[in-house]
Amino acid sequence: MKVDVFDMQGQAKEKIDLPRIFSGPVREDLIVRAVLATQSRQRQPYGTDPLAGQRSSAHYHSYRRHRWTMMNREMARLPRIHGKTSPHLSWAVRLVPQAVGGRRAHPPKAEKIWSQKINKKERQLAIISAIAATAVKEIVLKRGHRVQSLSQLPIVAEDRLQEIKKTKDIIEFLKKIGLKSELERIQVKKIRAGRGKNRGRKYRKRIGPLFVITEDRGVGKAVSGLSGCNVCKVENLSAAYLAPGASAGRLTIFTTSAIKKLESVGRKS
């Protein structure tokens, strides 16, 4: 399968063969597993104080026929505050989950392990599947990218792309290769529904193109000015980059050197 290589003016200057890694099957089940495993390692453990709700002098006397017994007093057999205390706390129930101010029945525990495991070969196959999905136009369109005007995927650019240092030059390049609608899409942001608005994530932003390179000569800083776009070296590719949210088919722009480096990966797989 041959694809065009675009220069910085958006013109096709040559054709190259895609590695066989782009013609492999798309295993969406493995992609979901790999992305969830990556996200689980980023989750911070949380939990309550182990003594929360248990710092109380409340107790229960469970013996019969005694001066200080709490049995046969026409009240539930629960740990209660008693003795010389304020009237509104006299005989108040504490400690148990159903009591006001008591402990929780099943609180979250800080020692819980959130990270999920995935086999090495499964993770590698998930990355290969995610790379193959970038070459299938139907999957890319299904993900929401506006690539109707493109005749081929993935997009391959010459290595001079890595030397761009300004965001406006990246925008001009994307417009010249037919991604003006995609630029308009990623500029839209909506206010998040729910409590997340108060927790530092007020807006929901769109995911844009991914730039796969071999050497960052300034393009990383240039792409950082575009909302939802990322730059990744070919050796650092992961399912989370290629399929954000476990949804395969992210619009990806490769450089020619990155394509050549993927050929060795395709021979090993």
Number of domains composing the chain: 2
Domain harbouring 156, CATH code: 3.40.1370.10
Q: Which two tokens stand for residue 31?
A: 């992609």
Cα–Cα distance measured from residue 71 to residue 223, given in angstroms and rounded to the nearest whole number: 73
- Determine what percent of the chain is predicted with pLDDT higher than 90: 87
Domain end, chosen from 67, 83, 113, is at 113
The answer to whether residues 15 and 68 belong to one domain is no
Q: Specify the pLDDT at position 63.
A: 85
The answer to whether residues 219 and 100 belong to one domain is no
List of E strands, the chain:
2-6, 12-17, 155-157, 189-191, 203-205, 210-213, 230-233, 252-255
The answer to whether residues 54 and 21 belong to one domain is no
Q: Specify the pLDDT at position 17.
A: 93
| Reported confidence tier of residue 119, pLDDT bands at 50, 70, 90 | very high
The answer to whether residues 264 and 159 belong to one domain is yes
Beta pairing class for 2-6 and 12-17: antiparallel
The answer to whether residues 246 and 184 belong to one domain is yes
Cα–Cα distance measured from residue 177 to residue 151, given in angstroms and rounded to the nearest whole number: 11
Q: Specify the pLDDT at position 265.
A: 64
| Reported confidence tier of residue 208, pLDDT bands at 50, 70, 90 | very high
The answer to whether residues 244 and 233 belong to one domain is yes
Domain containing 82: what range? 44-113
Q: Has residue 15 got a pLDDT over 70? A: yes
The answer to whether residues 52 and 65 belong to one domain is yes
The answer to whether residues 184 and 198 belong to one domain is yes
The answer to whether residues 224 and 187 belong to one domain is yes
Q: Specify the pLDDT at position 261.
A: 93
Q: Specify the pLDDT at position 264.
A: 75
pLDDT in tens, 150-189: 999 999 999 999 999 999 999 999 999 999 999 999 999 9
